Amino acid sequence: MERTNGQKQPPLGKIARLYYEHGLTHQEIADLCGLSRIKVTRLLAEARLVGIVEITVHSDDHLFVGLESALGHAYPLRQAWVGPAFEDEGRALHSLGAVAADCVTAFLTEGTTVAVGLSGSVAAIPGHLRKATGLDLSIVPLTGSKGGVSRAASPHELALSFAAAVDGRAYHLPAPLLARNAQAARVWREDPAVQETLERAVSADVLIAGIGGTAADAGLLVQGLSAVELAGIRERGAVGDISGRFFDADGAAVPGEVDERLIGLSLEQLRAVPVRIGVARGADKRRALAVALRHGLINVLVTDVSTAEALLADADAPEGAPS
């Protein structure tokens, strides 16, 4: 009718530029391009999502310097990164991912190998990473993959996302997270491809993993276990897990059936990685985090303000169970 050129989808770049560089309002762009305002709003959102629009903050400022250094004194840490706290779980995850992304980025240098664990928090990272071209980075999964519940459930998928985001190379660990039984697990571990990737993970420079609690929904791993299995693990003293390996209040491995079925690095092997970044937040994780920090399972902490404050409180009352 009136529009002679209104047929094709207008290029995102044009819209984005009109908005961000030329300062037109959504409405003005809509009029100019023959679209509805809402459509422009959505196209702009897409442009940001896809990465056509990139917003960078050039600054080394840390967000909560005080808390970060306090944590560094209270626990044996190389670094702590603290982000804002949120009521909403979705926002919290998003934000934590942003902090974690800044954190890993700080550890990337030429040829760095990063091992990634299975964790919802870790899955939130790739979206915030920015290309670090020319660094020749390698990304390795820490464990096998869990049946396809959600995308985040597979460290392999995660490794791919990371690799795509930072322009690195991803390796595959062709095995399930949990084998049917101890016997099957042993078979998997003998697979040469599995062995190769696990070795690569052991010798990684940086490790990034979530910390799981032992509450029923505190972590992706826990969610894959039956109530019975979980109860057994708790009975044996487990307070949390890192990359699928449960540990007790002394930071020691918790043996058992689940542990034998799991395909991935052992706690001792994890310790071999010099930089061990733990990402977690929330009341569920408080106990597990405190232990992981105190016993050096984790080296670098990424968390939010409220968890950080809780951890500082725990540090003052070391052994007494905080309730």
Partner DNA sequence: CAGATGCGTGAACATCTGATCAAAATTCGA
Partner DNA sequence: TCGAATTTTGATCAGATGTTCACGCATCTG
CB nearer to a copy of itself: pick between 51 and 147 = 51
Residue from the set 84, 232, 237, 256 that interacts with a copy of itself by CB under 8 A: 84
Q: Which of 151, 150, 146, 152 is nearest to 173 (CA)?
A: 146
Question: Which of 120, 119, 155 lies closest to 139, judged by CA?
Answer: 155
Q: How many residues bind a copy of itself (CB under 8 A)?
A: 39
Residues 136-175 that bind a copy of itself (CB under 8 A): none
Task: Show the tokens assigned to 258.
Answer: 């689940």
Residues 80, 281 contacting (CB under 8 angstroms): no
Q: Which of residues 23-42 bind a copy of itself (CB under 8 A)?
A: 23-24, 28, 32
User: Which two structure tokens, joined as six digits, stand for 263?
Assistant: 């395909």
Closest to 241 (Cα-Cα) out of 264, 226, 227, 306: 264
Structure token digits, residue 31: 């009029």
120 binds a copy of itself (CB under 8 A): no
Considering only 67, 74, 98, 129, the residue that binds a copy of itself (CB under 8 A) is 98
Q: Which does 109 bind (CB under 5 to 8 A by kind): DNA, a copy of itself, none?
A: none
Strands 113-116 and 169-170: unpaired
Shortest distance, CB of residue 61 to DNA, whole angstroms?
19
CA 310-317-272 angle, to 5 degrees, is 75
Q: Distance from first CA to last CA of the chain, Å, rounded? A: 69
- Mask of contacts with DNA, 25-54, x by CB under 7 A? xxx-------xxxxx-xx-xx---------
d(CA 201, CA 174): 14
Q: Please tell me whether residue 181 binds DNA under the rule CB under 7 A.
A: no
* Residue 37 interaction partner, one of DNA, a copy of itself, none, beta carbon < 5-8 Å per kind: DNA
Chain residues that interact with DNA, rule: CB under 7 A: 19, 25-27, 35-39, 41-42, 44-45
Chain residues that interact with a copy of itself, rule: CB under 8 A: 5, 11-14, 16-18, 20-24, 28, 32, 47, 51-63, 66, 83-84, 91, 94-95, 98-99, 102, 128
